[in-house]
Amino acid sequence: MNHRLVLLLGLCALGCQRTPPPRPPDVPAPQPASVALPWAVTQTEPPAQEPLGQVVAALRARATPAGMATVTELLTPASVAQLRQPNGALAILPVTLQAQLAGPFSRVELAGGRAALLSTHKGVDLTAWFYLQDGHWRLDAANTAAWHAADPGPVNPHNHAISLAEATTELTGTGALYAVLETSQGTVHCLLLEHEVPELVSHFVGLARGKRAWRSPGGSWQTTPFYDGLSFHRALTGIWAVTGDRSQRGPGGAGFHVADVLRRDVRHDKPGMLSFVTLGQANTASSQIALFAKPAPWADDRELPFGLCQELDVIEALSQQPARSQQLRRVTVQRGLP
């Protein structure tokens, strides 16, 4: 009798256990917040020979003491130069590289030859920067700056980006697009790279011709030529002269920031480059422009070149003068040179 009771109680216990109901097919299982790597997107020419995802996988595989000797080919040349120790070894620990590439990545930001892979590792937000150089994705292991999306500025009927066609409307003539900068040291003629970086050129031309509205330091929106009458508020002897800040305090702009446009074939590799100046972080260019008196490889991937200027003697003279002592009297945009 006792054996029957035990058997009956055992069967009851088995029958009373409930299995969880199956998840309805239309309700997906919760997934961690992550995104797949862009395997082929580059947003620049020529296309990358190795997709970005493959480079990340190779870096993760080599982030070991034994693999650090072969990781240099996957780093930017600038990173390799900064990370070299006097004995030639890399001053970067495998654990540091592993942390920088920790996944899963929560977001991937692409901007003309540059990619920012964002992740969180042990509660710390990390950004791994990749650059497209000579058709190859490479990690900038020395750069730990955070990613900042472009700030379009306050919502206002006047505040909207314009195309190159809108910025150059009513221009006459034919040929290449030039900006003529009349300064207190002389006139500078700059070829604008409208085919290479049309986004930057349309932004500059729109501001210069009053076709793109800008916000004054007082807060009102204006549609007059932005650069006429501004001082060169920064100058570094033999290096550059910077203007484009109506506040004259340094960080001023046009009331909004534009997205970076980086091209491997548009570099600061020659004197006379005309570039938008950033605030040292991604997507912070607005209205400040620099005239470079000599090549400036340190400015690559930081400032945004969009023109090539003649009259290097004038640029050199501007760079020699104290800040705010020289003026950009007028900017004219035209097709071709007389």
Average pLDDT over residues 293-317: 94
Res. 290 pLDDT band, cuts 50 70 90: very high
Residue 24, domain member (yes or no): no
Res. 13 pLDDT band, cuts 50 70 90: very low
- DSSP-H helix ranges across the chain: 2-16, 52-62, 77-83, 94-100, 164-167, 198-209, 312-320
Q: Are residues 205 and 58 in the same domain?
A: no
How far apart (Å, rounded) are the C-alpha atoms in residues 4 and 152? Answer: 79
3-state secondary structure of 278: coil
How far apart (Å, rounded) are the C-alpha atoms in residues 272 and 258? Answer: 23
Give the number of residues written for the chain. Answer: 338
The residue type at 276: F
**Closest to 108 in 3D by CA, of 55, 53, 49:** 53
Cis amide bond preceding 104, omega within 30 = yes
Q: Which helix (H) or strand (E) holds 102?
A: none
Interior CA angle at 123 toward 114 and 82, to 5°?
45
Q: Is the pLDDT of residue 37 over 90?
A: no
- The tokens describing 205, both together, are 């031309």
Domain boundary, last residue among 104, 139, 174: 139
Q: Are residues 177 and 129 in the same domain?
A: no
Q: Are residues 188 and 323 in the same domain?
A: yes
Q: What is the distance of C-alpha 330 from the center of its chain? A: 29
Into how many domains does the chain fold? 2
CATH number at residue 288: 2.40.100.10
Q: Are residues 282 and 177 in the same domain?
A: yes
Residue 38, domain member (yes or no): no
Q: Is the pLDDT of residue 314 over 60?
A: yes
Q: What is the mean pLDDT of the chain?
A: 84
Q: Are residues 327 and 279 in the same domain?
A: yes
Residue 110, domain member (yes or no): yes
The residue type at 209: R
Residue 297, domain member (yes or no): yes
- The tokens describing 316, both together, are 């050199």
**pLDDT at 40 (0 to 100):** 62
The residue type at 107: R
Q: Is the pLDDT of residue 308 over 50?
A: yes
Residue 255, domain member (yes or no): yes
The parent domain of residue 124 ranges over: 52-139
Q: Are residues 323 and 194 in the same domain?
A: yes
Q: Which residues lie across from 332 on neighbouring strands?
A: 180
**pLDDT at 118 (0 to 100):** 85
Q: Is the pLDDT of residue 104 over 90?
A: no
* Between residues 128 and 239, the one the model is more confident about: 239
Q: Are residues 174 and 311 in the same domain?
A: yes
The DSSP output letter for 258 is: B
Q: Are residues 303 and 228 in the same domain?
A: yes
**pLDDT at 12 (0 to 100):** 43
Strands 136-139 and 327-335: unpaired
Residue 96, domain member (yes or no): yes
Q: Are residues 224 and 323 in the same domain?
A: yes
Cβ distance 216 to 314 under 8 Å? no
CATH number at residue 70: 3.10.450
Q: What is the pLDDT of residues 184-196, one digit of tens each?
A: 999 999 999 999 9
Average pLDDT over residues 150-162: 93
How far apart (Å, rounded) are the C-alpha atoms in residues 277 and 302? Answer: 8
Q: What is the pLDDT of residues 201-217, one digit of tens each?
A: 999 999 999 999 999 99
Cis amide bond preceding 46, omega within 30 = yes
Q: Are residues 222 and 305 in the same domain?
A: yes
* Between residues 146 and 165, the one the model is more confident about: 165
Strands 289-292 and 273-276: antiparallel
How far apart (Å, rounded) are the C-alpha atoms in residues 21 and 209? Answer: 67
How far apart (Å, rounded) are the C-alpha atoms in residues 116 and 129? Answer: 5
Average pLDDT over residues 146-162: 89
Average pLDDT over residues 252-279: 91
Q: Record the pTM.
A: 0.73
Q: Are residues 69 and 197 in the same domain?
A: no
Average pLDDT over residues 17-30: 45
Q: Are residues 130 and 251 in the same domain?
A: no
The segment with the largest mean pLDDT, out of 43-52, 82-91, 249-258, is: 249-258
Residue 123, domain member (yes or no): yes
Residue 18, domain member (yes or no): no
**Closest to 275 in 3D by CA, of 160, 330, 197:** 197
